[in-house]
Amino acid sequence: MSPPVGPQLAALSRRAVLRFARQPSSWAPATIFPLLLVAVNSSAMARVAEIPGVVPPGTTFLMFLLPAAIVQGVLFGGIAGGSELATDIQGGFFDRLVASPVSRPAILLGRLAGAIAFGIAQAVFFQLVLWPFGAQVESGPAGRLTLVLTAALLSLGVGSFAAGLAARTGQPEAVQGYFPLMFILLFLSSAFFPTQLMSGWYQRVAEANPITWMVDGMRSLVLEGWSWFAVAEAIAVPAAICVLGMVFATRQLERRLAVAG
């Protein structure tokens, strides 16, 4: 009889979370850089909020930027979680897991648990830190929880793609090379600037960018109040990324296990 999966998953998840928390190089950039960008952009572009139609009356440009900070932090953390799997492969820990009776799905999900936990922590952290400076959430506690759920799903989606690359290459550097692509997609979206003030090809790309759809849903919850359409818009994109990412990661893990076997 094979050992129960639950305790295995719990043990591997705990290891992933603790290892992530004990390495400031994994989480410090994902905490500091988004706050710096928010501070710079909210100061440099504060008067953008005075343009009619950018933000509702009584709200601020800092509120406009809150979803961007959460998404940027999650992108950092998700990719760092995937690179940890590559480190396990390089260091031989992955081979020891494969040689043991550990459930194969638990190997993948246990590693992704660190990224999910960090994404949740990031969403809570940015909301709490920016709240005293005026970053309210007009949709209240339900909207705040939706932002946390969106961050958790996005962490799982981004982390699973990073884990798939880790399983395929076994190289942390290859996984980290995935980050510039995500960062470009973030800046080619409405995360830091409203699409109605863009023009030309940049506007067309931003409007077609799925990250824009997700951020706009999150931003509607922050600036305008509760809306089921905004909730669906915020959750649908990261949910789709999760599905695609888990399929990719699972296939790459099976490929590595076949080679190892």
What are the residue boundaries of the structural domains of the chain, listed by start?
Answer: 5-260
Per-residue pLDDT, 2: 54
Q: How far apart are alpha carbons 40 and 63 in whole angstroms?
A: 14
Per-residue pLDDT, 1: 45
Taking each helix axis as running N to C, give the angle between helix 104-130 and helix 61-91, from 0 to 180 degrees, rounded to the nearest 10: 150
In the predicted model, is pLDDT for residue 145 greater than 90?
yes
% of the chain at pLDDT higher than 70: 98
Q: How far apart are alpha carbons 127 and 244 in whole angstroms?
A: 28
In the predicted model, is pLDDT for residue 82 greater than 80?
no
Other CB atoms within a 10 A radius of the CB of residue 103 amount to 18
Query: For residues 248 and 31, which has the higher predicted lDDT (pLDDT)?
Result: 248
Other CB atoms within a 10 A radius of the CB of residue 36 amount to 10
Q: How far apart are alpha carbons 153 and 149 in whole angstroms?
A: 6
Residues written for the chain: 261
What lies within 8 Å, CB to CB, of 31 at 6+ separation is 73, 122, 125
Give the distance from CA 233 to its chain's centroid. 16
Kindly indicate the confidence band of residue 137, based on its pLDDT and cuts at 50, 70 and 90: very high
What lies within 8 Å, CB to CB, of 80 at 6+ separation is 20, 26, 27, 30, 115, 118
In one letter, which amino acid is 261?
A: G
In the predicted model, is pLDDT for residue 84 greater than 90?
no
